[in-house]
Structure 1
């Protein structure tokens, strides 16, 4: 995560660095990204960069965490609108991300994120709400989820169900970028999988 010196930067300088980083991570995957390109674009010395971040991975996962936190806030908004229906919320969120993947501000960046998915990236996307600074947010989310129609017996089972559904969501987002699916193709496949989860696989 960023060092305190980053948070003390003037907003304009901070925004310039973030924009430069996003441009570099949009151009190439993390392992090919160059700090030299980022600092050249941002107009800062290399020494200043290391006053703000430990390395390019630190900066990359800061950006990813920002994206995830924005997504979490959207989930809360949709969940309220859907009156606590978790599956409808995730379908709405999935459709929103797929529909907006061509937004020029995020198109190349998100494509690189999902095309170069690894455990650490997936873990950041899926589990940021479980981190210490997100626990209160997650507890608020749990309170919004309507459970009377769900076949669960405890909060732990609800946690497990959410984790499974988030994993399915991320997997389908990866497919969107790898296979360059249309919105209709992506949504049809995703909804089919969510419906399978809802009804289960084993006959009574």
Structure 2
């Protein structure tokens, strides 16, 4: 998480920092961005960067926290709204994801997040976002089988999102494939439904 020094910056300065970070993480994967280029773009001393952020990952997570929707929280919100109806939840979730992932100003951030996320980033993310990583705690407390269902669905959906960016699908193509996969999840892969 960004340090207090960053959070106490004047809004225009904080906005400039976030704008530069957002642009750099849109243009290339996290692994290709350097602290050197960030401080050069911001025209600040390297030490100032470390007054704002612990490290490069911290700067990246600040952009993610600011610019992307927590899709796990979104799923749980829809599940609650649909009173536990999993099929209705998944269908609305697909509609919402298709809107979120294809927003012009954040598309590249999502693309780089899903194509270049690695175990090191994942571990640090979990450490810094423990409240978000415990999203399924309520499900786990109630029923471990239900927790396994959640992890299964998470795997299916994350794979679809990654393929979306790997294969450059359109919004309509993503939604069509999402509905087909959800049909298979709900009815079985032996069914020949078109979603």
Q: SS of 1:196's equivalent?
A: helix
Q: Distance in 2 between matches of 1:91 and 1:42?
A: 43
> Normalising by the residue count of structure 2, what TM-score does the alignment of the two structures yield?
0.75
Q: Which residue of structure 1 lines up, in the alignment, with residue 52 of structure 2?
A: 52
How many Å apart are 1:48 and its aligned residue? 0.8
**2:131 is equivalent to residue 133 of structure 1:** yes
How many Å apart are 1:33 and its aligned residue? 0.8
Could you list the runs of 5+ residues in structure 1 that have no partner in the other structure? Answer: 143-153
How many Å apart are 1:42 and its aligned residue? 3.2
Equivalent residue for 2:147, pick from 136, 152, 159: 159
How many Å apart are 1:28 and its aligned residue? 0.9
Q: How many residues align?
A: 188
Q: Does the Cα contact within 8 Å between 1:20 and 1:41 map onto a contact in 2? A: yes
TM-align CA RMSD: 3.3
Q: Map residues 1-204 of structure 1 onto 2, 5 A cutoff.
A: 1-66=1-66, 70-120=70-120, 132-134=130-132, 138=136, 142=139, 155-199=143-187
Report Cα offsets for 1:129-169 as digits up to 9, x if no partner: xx5434786557x5xxxxxxxxxxx5222222111111211
Could you list the runs of 5+ residues in structure 2 that have no partner in the other structure? Answer: 191-195
How many Å apart are 1:83 and its aligned residue? 3.1
